[in-house]
Amino acid sequence: MTAGTMRQVRTMNAPMSDIAKAADAASIEGRQIVKTFGGFTAVDNVSFTIGKGEFVSLIGPSGCGKSTLMLIAAGLQPLSTGEIVVNGAPLDRPLTDIGIVFQDHLLLDFRTALDNVLLQAEIRGLPMEPARARAMELFEKLGIAHAADRYPRQLSGGMRQRVSIARALIHNPSVLMMDEPFGALDAITRTQIRHDLELLWMETGKTVLFITHSLEEAIGLSDRVLVMSPSPGRIVDEIRIELPRPRPAHLGDYPSFNIYADRIHALFRQFGVIKY
C-alpha cells in the first residue's frame, strides 16, 4: 500500500467528530459586480452563485480579476457597484465565517506548524484544548500530523500549504476560499494535494471558491467551473463537471475531461490568451 492510499484509507475511516459536515454551509451570490481602480475596470458586471456545500472554481488568465473578485466575495474589498449576497442577506462587512488560503502560505517562521494553526484559534478566542484536538485531527487528515512541531522552514512547500489549509479550517467555517493555493508547487505535489483537498471537502462539505489557472485543478476539483475573460474580467462560460468523485490523478482517463479542457482552451484561444 502506498503512503497515498494509506492516507486515503485513514481519511475515509476516520471518525467525523467536530469536522462534521457543515450543515449550515453558506450560499454566496454575486450580483452584477463591477470593480474599478481609478479609471481602470478590473471586474466588469460579474454575476455568479455558489450553492451551499458546492465546490466552484474560477479560472482565467493572470490579471483578469480573479483575486479581486474573491476578495470582494469575502467582503474584504469594496465593490464599485453590485452586491454580494450570503445566505440571502447582502454582505456589508468582511465575512467572518470563512477560511482563506493564499498562494503564499503566510506562516510565521517563529511558530511551529501547530502553533501557526492555533494562532488563528487564539485570535478568534476559541477554547484552546478543543482547538488543539481539532488542529491535530486536521493535520491527521492532511497527512502532516508527524510534522506538527516543525517550523515552516523545516517543511516542504506542499506541507506548508497543508498547514495553511488546516489554519483556514480550524474554526470550522462554512466557507473556504483559496487563491491559487497550489500555484507554487511542483506538478506531482499538486496532484496529491489536490486529491487530499478533494477528500477533505467530500467529508466536510464546505462551500468552496477556488481560484486557479490550472485546467487540471479546476476540472479535477470542481462541481462547476466559471471561466473568466482577460481584463476587464467577465464570466464567459460556466461548466458543470459531471465526473465521479474522488477523481483520479490522471484525469485524461475520462474522455469527458478532454471535452471540458477543450472547451476552456477554445475560449482562451478565442481571447488570444493561447495563441496556438
CB-hemisphere CA count at 13 Å for 23? 1
Closest CA to 164 of 219, 96, 71, 100: 100
Distance between CA atoms of 95 and 54, rounded to whole angstroms?
18
- Pick between residue 169 and residue 211 the one whose CB is nearest to Mg ion: 211
Q: How many residues are listed for the chain in this entry?
A: 276
Provide the binding-site residues for ligand ADP, judged by CB under 6 A.
Answer: 37, 42, 60, 62-68, 231
Is residue 67 a contact residue for Mg ion (CB under 5 A)? yes
Q: How far is the CB of 164 from ligand ADP (least distance, A)?
A: 18
- Pick between residue 67 and residue 204 the one whose CB is nearest to Mg ion: 67
Q: How far is the CB of 40 from ligand ADP (least distance, A)?
A: 6
Q: How far is the CB of 54 from ligand ADP (least distance, A)?
A: 21
- Pick between residue 39 and residue 127 the one whose CB is nearest to ligand ADP: 39
- Pick between residue 164 and residue 204 the one whose CB is nearest to Mg ion: 164
Q: How far is the CB of 94 from ligand ADP (least distance, A)?
A: 16
Q: How far is the CB of 72 from Mg ion (least distance, A)?
A: 13
Element (H, E) at 176: strand 175-179
- Pick between residue 71 and residue 163 the one whose CB is nearest to Mg ion: 71
Q: How far is the CB of 232 from ligand ADP (least distance, A)?
A: 8
CB-hemisphere CA count at 13 Å for 219? 23
The window from 64-72, 85-93, 144-152, 201-209 that contacts Mg ion (CB under 5 A) reads: 64-72
Per-residue cell: 49: 452563485
- Pick between residue 44 and residue 140 the one whose CB is nearest to ligand ADP: 44
Instruction: Say if residues 175 and 103 touch (Cβ distance below 8 Å).
Output: no
Is residue 212 a contact residue for Mg ion (CB under 5 A)? no
Distance between CA atoms of 22 and 251, rounded to whole angstroms?
28
Radius of gyration of the chain (CA): 18
173 binds, among ligand ADP, Mg ion, none (CB under 5 to 8 A by kind): none
Instruction: Say if residues 51 and 100 touch (Cβ distance below 8 Å).
Output: no
CB-hemisphere CA count at 13 Å for 81? 5
Residues at the contact surface with Mg ion, assessed by CB under 5 A: 67
